[in-house]
Amino acid sequence: MRRRFCRVTITMNYEGNSLRQTVISHGDLDDRIRVLVEKTSDAGDVSLADLAREIGAAGAQLEVRGHWQWRDEERKQRPSTTASVEEQLRQEVDRIRPLSREEEQGLARRMEVARLLLAQALDSENLTHEDLEAAWCFVPERGWEQSCEECSVPPLVCRRWKELHALRTEMVERNLYLILLNVDRYARNAAQRLDLIQEGSIALFRAADGFEWRRGLLFRTYAVHWLNQAFRSFLYNFGRTIRVPVYLQKASKHVQRAAEKLGPDPSVDAIAECTGLTESVVESTLKAQRPTYSLDRALIDGEEGHDLANAIGYEAEDGPYDTSLEDTSLEDGLRGALGRLNERERFVLAMRFGLERERDHTLAEVAREIGVSLERVRQIQMRAIAKLDTPSLRRAVAPFLS
């Protein structure tokens, strides 16, 4: 006998019409999925596509939970004006109840159903995920309904994305403790630790999107791989004042080990033979290990005017320094670059990237402003960027990007 959903029916008002809408709770959805899993001997063969089609055909919605539902209010602490950002974050994370193995499996299954429902909604509107990302402009302060109206996202697609986003957020928030457990292995100072925490939060969303519950693994086992990868990538790319190529940073460990083994002042040939690296890579690695110093560093302690900048001689007039840069501003450079475009191309780039405006705008906002489709705006934008991608313009703006 086929089991039916236990449904909660609520009344919604949409465009002046009173509609009766079915909302499926997490518990009821878990029960249906559990029945499918029990009927299948191998969890890898479980398909939730039919269940998602049934929900979509019935016009039912999934329950959307708020973050307060997995927070322990009894452990809430009074805000402190002296606590650092990291301390406040740790206090918030301590209030979040971690997932049990069963809860984690149920949440991952619900996320898969929500993804299938979103895919169905996009297909019904002849849209792709790229169209959704281009048109999306969610602002938490404005709420989902107002954001959907401003972004021109169809109501059904907006609702399905809201359901999936709520589930992804729950998975990430209830595993934030993993970031705090692993970040200390990589952080060298407090400022760097905060950057790594941000990178870890992004990595958790990627882990939530790629997690496969059918394998029977714990989410934390899968997520730690993404966290370690994100931390290492950040340190390789942003951990130094002057960026060193990743392959040289990796070679540096082998070179240091070989230098300690060979004794004081080993030759490049000896290090290359010991590590199996080429001599050119060893030379580049040794050069990359040189320390960097601030130009404001005092050469004589306690005396002003004796800093490193004053000790550096000026280049000759025909040297690499170009005095014309002193009279050139980034605004002048942008104005000259945009002068190569026609009026419509200038308008699209100005709106998209917030040039001489308060903020940047989405493709949907630009499309409404000039009365064309999203695809047409994207074509105009790409054509304008291609016109600006010239060697002379790259040289003109290079001083402002370094």
Residues 47 and 167 in one domain: yes
Residue 219's pLDDT is what?
Answer: 95
The whole-angstrom separation of Cα 272 and Cα 252 is 12
Look up the CATH number of the domain holding residue 60: 1.20.120.1810
Whether residue 53 is contained in a domain is answered as yes
The whole-angstrom separation of Cα 126 and Cα 156 is 12
Q: What domain range includes position 274?
A: 249-288
Whether residue 14 is contained in a domain is answered as yes
Sequence-distant (6+) residues with CB within 8 A of 215 are 44
The whole-angstrom separation of Cα 303 and Cα 286 is 33
How many domains, the chain? 3
Q: What is the pLDDT of residues 48-100, one digit of tens each?
A: 888 999 999 998 999 998 888 888 877 666 666 667 888 888 888 999 999 99
pLDDT level of residue 229 (50, 70, 90 thresholds): very high
Residues 126 and 270 in one domain: no
Answering whether pTM is above 0.95, one says: no
Residues 218 and 270 in one domain: no
Whether residue 76 is contained in a domain is answered as no
pLDDT: which is higher, 52 or 17: 52
**Of 62-71, 141-150, 226-235, 364-373, highest mean pLDDT:** 226-235
Look up the CATH number of the domain holding residue 384: 1.10.10.10
Whether residue 346 is contained in a domain is answered as yes
Whether residue 300 is contained in a domain is answered as no
Whether residue 390 is contained in a domain is answered as yes
Residues 39 and 150 in one domain: yes
Q: What is the pLDDT of residues 193-206, one digit of tens each?
A: 889 999 999 999 99
Q: What is the pLDDT of residues 99-116, one digit of tens each?
A: 999 999 999 999 999 999
The whole-angstrom separation of Cα 280 and Cα 258 is 16
Res. 124: pLDDT tops 70: yes
Whether residue 227 is contained in a domain is answered as yes
Residues 38 and 108 in one domain: yes
pLDDT: which is higher, 112 or 239: 112
Mean pLDDT, residues 341-363: 84
Res. 349: pLDDT tops 90: no
Residues 281 and 386 in one domain: no
CB 351 within 8 A of CB 360: yes
Residue 176's pLDDT is what?
Answer: 95
Residues 117 and 210 in one domain: yes
Residue 3's pLDDT is what?
Answer: 43
Range of weakest confidence among 83-87, 204-208, 240-244, 349-353:
240-244
Mean pLDDT, residues 220-234: 93
